[in-house]
Amino acid sequence: MTAFYEETKACIDAVFEAHAPSEVTLTLDATGVNGHVQLLVLSIIGYQRLTQLKRVNAISGSCYAYLVYHALNTTGIEGLGAIMQRWDSNMRRHFHKTRVLKTLAKLPMAAVGKGNIFNPQCLEAMLRGTVNDHNANRPLSTVPDNAVFWVYNQTRGCPVGLNARGEYQDYSMAELARTFAAIPKLYGAAKLGDDWFIDPVFSKDYSALRTALKKDAKPGHHIYSNIAFAKQTPNITYIKTHQYGDGKRMVVADFIKLMFNIPNRKIYHAFQQANIPFSK
pLDDT tens across the length of the chain (280 residues): 589 999 999 999 999 999 999 999 999 999 999 999 999 999 999 999 999 999 999 999 999 999 999 999 999 898 888 888 888 999 898 899 888 878 888 877 777 777 788 888 899 999 999 999 999 999 999 999 999 999 999 999 999 999 999 999 999 999 999 999 999 999 999 999 999 999 999 999 999 999 999 999 999 999 999 999 999 999 999 999 999 999 999 999 999 999 999 999 898 899 888 988 765 4
As a whole number of angstroms, the distance between CA 69 and CA 213 comes to 22
**Where are the alpha helices (H) located in the chain, listed in sequence order?**
3-18, 39-45, 47-50, 62-73, 80-85, 87-89, 100-111, 121-136, 173-180, 206-216, 247-259, 266-273
Tell me if the pTM is above 0.85: yes
User: Nearest-CA neighbor of 128 among 61, 83, 86?
Assistant: 83
- Phi and psi at residue 183, to the nearest 5°: -85, 125
